[in-house]
């Protein structure tokens, strides 16, 4: 799946990083707690979140996540989008709820990445 | 690769800027050609520490020493100190307020995460004075993650 597919499946609007939407993505995670993203995420490329602050972008940066989708109709401020732009991230926004967005991406082939031991 | 020492001041309560130091270190390590796995471990461990300094500890100072074999991060804060380190190391245990949780942090994963992503971690804390956390990440021989 590419980032463009994520955009189409989540009926999302691209807010920045349009030039990178042909990049491949294999795994995703969904959380509003950045602490949990930092704790449990490994090699994920897409982050779905309803949290709207600059730390979402920084968390993605630290974790090498390349695409962030703000869900539940959340729209980040311009300064947050600028931070993402500087880092070459794709940011999109969808009106879907977390459960629905995760389910759609999962059934279309994106995995969670981590295995429960 | 020659030794390099970086110093950062972490602002008190400036949540918007929290993570700037970690972001800068990540960029510099990448440019220096440090293996990606070590870069990522340093970035995550330091970012968690930097967030902790802002939300719990009135800010402080971070020193990062980069040697050919190891990256050493020393995070010194002026906070209240940690009363019970063992308890603070437990996943899920946090003193964070609702305000902090609303910002996406305070899940009680900060210190456990810092330990997970560093090869060595040491906490030196004095109640009412502050805490110094030293984390080391090995270059090349780090296969912990």
Over residues A6-18, the pLDDT tens digits come to 999 999 999 999 9
Instruction: Classify B7 as helix, strand or coil.
Output: strand
pLDDT tens-digit profile, chain A (117 residues): 999 999 999 999 999 999 999 999 999 999 999 988 988 777 779 999 999 999 999 999 999 999 999 999 999 999 999 999 999 999 999 999 999 999 999 999 998 866 655
- Who's near B131: CB < 8 A, 6+ residues apart? B57, B76, B77, B79, B81, B82, B123, B124, B125
Q: Does B41 fall in a domain?
A: yes
Structure letter (DSSP) for residue B135: E
Q: Burial-class residue A91 by CB neighbours within 10 Å (0-12, 13-18, 19+).
A: buried
- Per the structure, the complete domain to which residue B23 belongs is given by 4-138
pLDDT confidence of residue B143: 47
Q: Does B143 fall in a domain?
A: no
Q: Does B114 touch chain A (CB under 8 A)?
A: no
Q: Does B39 fall in a domain?
A: yes
CA distance B55 to B97: 9
Give the domain ranges of chain A. 3-107
Selection from B18, B48, B19 nearest residue B110 by Cα:
B48
> Is B105 in Cβ contact with A63 (below 8 Å)?
no
Q: Give the count of domains, chain B.
A: 1
Q: Does B124 fall in a domain?
A: yes
Question: What are the helix (H) ranges across chain A?
Answer: 3-9, 34-40, 54-63, 78-86, 98-107
- Who's near B34: CB < 8 A, 6+ residues apart? B1, B42, B66, B71, B139
What is the domain class of A3-107 according to CATH?
alpha beta
Q: Does B145 fall in a domain?
A: no
pLDDT confidence of residue A33: 92
Question: What is the ipTM for the molecules in this complex?
Answer: 0.85
Instruction: Classify A8 as helix, strand or coil.
Output: helix
Mutate to test the interface with B, among A30, A31, A32, A39 (most CBs of B within 10 A): A39
Of A36, A53, A64, the CB nearest to B103: A53
> Residue B21 is part of a domain; what is its CATH number?
3.30.565.10
Q: Angle of helix B20-31 relative to helix A54-63, nearest 10 degrees?
A: 30
């Amino acid at each position: 799946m590419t980032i463009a597919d994520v955009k189409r499946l989540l009926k999302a609007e691209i807010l920045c990083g349009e030039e990178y939407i042909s990049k491949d993505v294999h795994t995703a995670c969904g959380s509003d707690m950045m602490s949990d993203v930092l704790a449990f995420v490994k090699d994920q490329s897409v982050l779905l979140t309803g949290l709207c602050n600059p730390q979402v972008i920084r968390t993605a940066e630290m974790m090498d996540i390349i695409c962030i989708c703000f869900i539940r109709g959340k729209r980040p401020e311009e300064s947050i989008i600028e931070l993402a732009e500087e880092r070459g991230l794709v940011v999109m926004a969808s009106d879907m709820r977390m459960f629905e967005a995760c389910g759609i991406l999962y059934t279309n082939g994106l995995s969670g990445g981590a295995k429960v031991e | 690769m020659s030794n390099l020492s970086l110093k950062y001041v972490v602002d008190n309560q400036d949540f918007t800027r929290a993570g700037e130091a970690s972001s800068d270190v990540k960029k510099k390590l990448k440019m220096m050609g440090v293996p990606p796995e070590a870069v990522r471990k340093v970035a995550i461990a330091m970012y968690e520490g930097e967030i902790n300094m802002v939300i719990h500890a009135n800010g402080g100072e971070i020193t990062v020493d980069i040697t050919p074999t190891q990256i050493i991060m020393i995070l010194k804060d002026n906070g209240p100190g940690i009363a019970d380190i063992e308890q603070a190391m437990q996943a899920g245990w946090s003193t964070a307020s609702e305000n902090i949780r609303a910002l996406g942090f305070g899940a009680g994963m900060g210190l456990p995460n810092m330990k997970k992503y560093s090869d060595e971690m040491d906490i030196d804390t004095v109640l009412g004075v502050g805490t110094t956390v030293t984390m080391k990440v090995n270059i090349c021989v780090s296969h912990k993650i």
